[in-house]
Structure 1
């Protein structure tokens, strides 16, 4: 695609289009109508199309279930480059897969009402998958941070800028011990706000990492999953879920059984929160290029997006699987 062809699209600030930036979407929703383009051998072609799954620019979501994440808006509007396209797409696909996995857990609960259909092992495999995906998102996020940091020009010439590790673990953990915020800041010569971001998520990342490594490399597995009339449950001492401290004591069943749905929601919400907090914090101390599409936001249309929109309510109310 030739960049001068993008000038035919009225929603872009054409001054921001150059060979270094990747265009995140050619779908626009404006005043109740879709405007869409595709790239062809003969140039851009305007078509009548609606995205089934993917991103689009709009001032408001086209559908109430469409997702807005500051992380994707920041990257797509300001800094998306070929160097980070792989990890960005990786996180995007992981989020869509997380939504599908959450939906599968709900379907498995419905199947569990049929006593002749055993679902416990299926639930365990979904949980192990979700733990692994959440852990991997941190490394994909770190790849993005490290690549963006290379493009930053420091105004303080006395500070020697250092390359950041592509591994989140190497940024926050040494000899299995979590590094203090001051150590992270001094070791990598990064601003206080960025060091604070790493410190904020280090302990949570360590929980995911240890449990995922035990599953992948040491043959460990999750504790028993209990099938109750209200849905899947675990003992309130079961790790890693007990380490999140998210259960409401009033909502527990006898024998200290607690809803599995709550810590799973928390785990995903915390992981996505890391992406959001990074995007919000880095814009406070680094000036990036202006937005490609001023006055618009980048929304995310995906299957089962309602699963993400329901996470906060599940956590706040300690909901079980039988509660909408």
Structure 2
């Protein structure tokens, strides 16, 4: 029994409200969550090529599409936005997913540092902070390496109008 008036009928990929299939130029269809300002929309692929909407109330952590952040604490990172909107090459998919994961992990680490700051009189607090800072530095290095991989794979698709300019 449905608990709301949302239409849960399967749809065709070209009926996704946030996508222009022509603009994708053959790139994979991003099946990210979509927030229309009122509610979440998420679709999962079916074997027959249709997309089945599923009911989602809220999310803790995810990449989503929206005209503006759902919460004030949500971050819109322009370089990841660019990669998801314009690049979406098959060869960059795993690197983009890892980069996104690193961004989420940085957020978690920064939150942990806030928690550590709030701890009073805990033995070993400085070691907790030190190891978290080391982890943040490793994440930053990982992001740098992932961006280099993504840039390299994008560059491999570029055709110079004047080949002698390389």
TM-score range, shorter chain: 0.7 to 0.9
2:63 maps to which of 42, 55, 60: 55
Secondary structure of the 1:103 match is: helix
Shift of 1:8: 2.1
Shift of 1:18: 5.0
Would you say 1:149 and 2:148 are equivalent positions?
Answer: no
Alpha-carbon distance between aligned partners in 2 of 1:118 and 1:14, rounded to the nearest angstrom: 54
Alpha-carbon distance between aligned partners in 1 of 2:146 and 2:24, rounded to the nearest angstrom: 26
- Gaps in structure 2 of 5+ consecutive residues: 1-10
Q: How does 1:80-119 map to 2 (within 5 A)?
A: 80-111=88-119, 113-114=120-121, 117-119=123-125
Alpha-carbon distance between aligned partners in 2 of 1:59 and 1:82, rounded to the nearest angstrom: 25
- Gaps in structure 1 of 5+ consecutive residues: 161-324
CA 1:47–1:105 in structure 2 vs 1: closer, same or farther (change >3 Å)? same
Secondary structure of the 1:36 match is: strand
1:37 maps to which of 13, 34, 43: 43
Q: CA-to-partner distance for each residue in 1:171-202, whole Å, 9 max, x for gaps?
A: xxxxxxxxxxxxxxxxxxxxxxxxxxxxxxxx
Give the number of equivalent residue pairs. Answer: 154
Would you say 1:72 and 2:80 are equivalent positions?
Answer: yes
CA 1:41–1:27 in structure 2 vs 1: closer, same or farther (change >3 Å)? same
Higher alpha-carbon Rg: 1
Partner of 1:24: 30
> In 2, are the aligned partners of 1:23 and 1:76 still within 8 Å (CA)?
no
TM-score of the two chains, using structure 1 as the length reference: 0.44
CA 1:11–1:130 in structure 2 vs 1: closer, same or farther (change >3 Å)? closer
Shift of 1:7: 0.7
Q: How does 1:268-279 map to 2 (within 5 A)?
A: none
Shift of 1:154: 0.8
Bigger relative contact order, structure 1 or 2 (CA pairs below 8 A, ≥6 apart): 1
> In 2, are the aligned partners of 1:25 and 1:55 still within 8 Å (CA)?
no
TM-score of the two chains, using structure 2 as the length reference: 0.82
